Amino acid sequence: MKAVLLHGQVLEGAGWDEQDVFIQAAAVSQALSDLGYEPVIMPLSLNIAETVDALLSLEPAFVFNLVEAINGKGNLIHFSPAILDSLCIPYTGSQTAAIFLTSHKVTAKSFLHAQGIATPAWFLPDACPASPVKEGRYIIKSLWEHASIGLDEGSVVFTDDNSFLDGKMNAFRRSSGGECFAEAFIEGREINVSLLGGGEGHEVLPPAEIIFEDYPPEKLRVLGYRAKWVEDSFEYQHTPRTFEFPDKDGRLLKQLADIATRCWQVFKLRGYARVDFRVDQRGTPWVLEVNANPCLSPEGGFTAAAKQAGLSYNDTIERIIRAVPGMPPYA
């Protein structure tokens, strides 16, 4: 049975975050071979007709959807499931609506807020021009990208002025070339919770905390681009992941698992996902993002959480395939 691994086309000179998809594709391809499938790796470009013709020619049993961006544009992430839906080809991961709703971060936050799930306040002039900015710290974030593109300590500003914040956002747009929004900056712990489908329902995997190790008091705890991708940076080398929590965190961990499950249900997620939290100094958890298509690199956070749950990489990939409606677990 053929299985196409579809990933977004990566242009020459792309950053580490985009190039990581090649590592994912190689690892998933090997896992598919081990499970008895015949993997075919295929990039998705803006030449949609070419991709459609190739898919129809191959007649795959299913597509393993690894598309996170196309030509470096995260706002095109939903093209992949939309194309596959139109061709009636089964595919892994969440469906088109869930991918779109979670990838547009302000739309996702609006859904969370409507469901009573705590998410930091946000400011987007075109969406809420009458909303005043309260005094405090705000972090300027990309509206679509999930790889912390353009995110560092300089993204955090202190203000109570709408026009000042709008000016900072315009500067971000000029430097990064993408849409952005401002979010209230939550001082506290960074914890993420991964979820894995397959079988009946879903499984909440062991939570992971990012430790800001040896950060001086004046240095803001921001899990930015350097911390995720620049291996020789201070941030990368001093933000280790841990699955060890003290007993006193038992109630908090139960709360995080419950909230992550609610996110899974609200957005009708499928296959696998990750929910990123900040826990403030009073112990209140805030949902920062819902990632419906998290990285599947062997060294990534999702794979680490699955391993912590006792699952091998092949086990994890098999579970993701099993979550595709009508798909048998093995070829």
Q: Is residue 161 part of a domain?
A: yes
- Contact at 8 Å (CB) between 4 and 29? no
Of the pLDDT bands very low, low, confident and very high (cuts 50, 70, 90), residue 131 is low
One-letter identity of residue 7: H
Return phi, psi of residue 195, to 5°.
-130, 140
pLDDT tier, 130 (very low <50, low <70, confident <90, very high otherwise): very low
List all residues 6 or more positions away from 205 whose beta carbon is below 8 Å from its beta carbon: 193, 194, 195, 196, 302, 305, 306, 308, 309
Domain identity same for 137 and 235: no
109: in domain = no
- Considering the domain architecture, whether residues 312 and 212 belong to the same structural domain is answered as yes
Q: Give the burial class of 11: count Cβ atoms within 10 A of its Cβ; 0-12 exposed, 13-18 middle, 19 or more buried.
A: exposed
Domain contains 328: no
Q: Measured between alpha carbons, how far is residue 70 from residues 11, 46, 74, 103 in Å?
A: 9, 7, 7, 14
User: What does DSSP assign to residue 329?
Assistant: S
- Cα gap 248→190, rounded to integer Å: 17
* pLDDT at position 132: 58
Largest CA distance in the chain: 59
Q: Which residue in this structure is represented by tokens 């092949």?
A: 314
CATH number at residue 76: 3.40.50.20
Pair (196, 310) in one structural domain: yes
User: For the chain, what is the total number of helices (H) and then of strands (E)?
Assistant: 11, 13
Share of the chain above pLDDT 70, in %: 95
Q: Does one domain contain both 197 and 265?
A: yes
Measured at the CA of 276, the angle between CA 270 and CA 282, to 5 degrees, comes to 135
Q: 167: domain range?
A: 120-184
Residue at 305 is within a domain: yes
pLDDT at 127: 60
On whether both 199 and 160 belong to a single domain, the answer is no
pLDDT at 129: 43
- Asked whether residue 236 is assigned to any structural domain, the reply reads yes
CA distance 206 to 327: 26
Q: Which of 184, 202, 230 is the last residue of a domain?
A: 184
d(CA 194, CA 243) in angstroms, rounded, equals: 12
The reply to whether 219 and 289 lie within a common domain is yes
Is 250 found in the same domain as 161? Answer: no
The CATH number of the domain where 245 resides is what? 3.30.470.20
**Segment 222-250, tens digit of pLDDT:** 988 888 888 899 999 999 999 999 999 99
For 286, the 3-state DSSP assignment is: strand
- Indicate the residue among 164, 184, 204 that finishes a domain: 184
Mention every residue, 6+ apart, whose C-beta is less than 8 A from residue 245: 207, 209, 253
Residue 213 clears pLDDT 90, i.e. is over it: yes
Of the candidates 184, 199, 221, which is a domain's last residue? 184
Least confident of 19-23, 77-81, 252-256: 19-23
Same domain, 318 and 203: yes
Same domain? 206 vs 266 = yes
195 shares its domain with 285: yes
CA distance 329 to 331: 7
pLDDT tier, 147 (very low <50, low <70, confident <90, very high otherwise): low
The secondary structure of 129-175 as a DSSP string is: TT-PPPSEEEEEEESS-SS-TT-SGGGEEEES-HHHHHHHHHHHHHH
Query: Is residue 105 included in any domain, yes or no?
Result: no
Our count of domains for the chain comes to: 3
* Residue 103, in any domain of the structure: no
Residue 195 sits in the same domain as residue 172: no
Backbone φ, ψ for residue 200 (5° rounding): -100, 125
3-state secondary structure of 251: helix
Whether 113 maps to a domain, the answer reads no
Asked whether residue 167 falls in the same domain as residue 192, the answer is no
* Cα–Cα dist 240/36, whole Å: 35
**What is the average pLDDT across 267-286?**
97
Here the tokens at position 31 are 């896992």
Q: For residue range 149-187, what is the model confidence (pLDDT) as tens digits?
A: 667 888 899 988 888 888 888 888 887 767 889 999 999
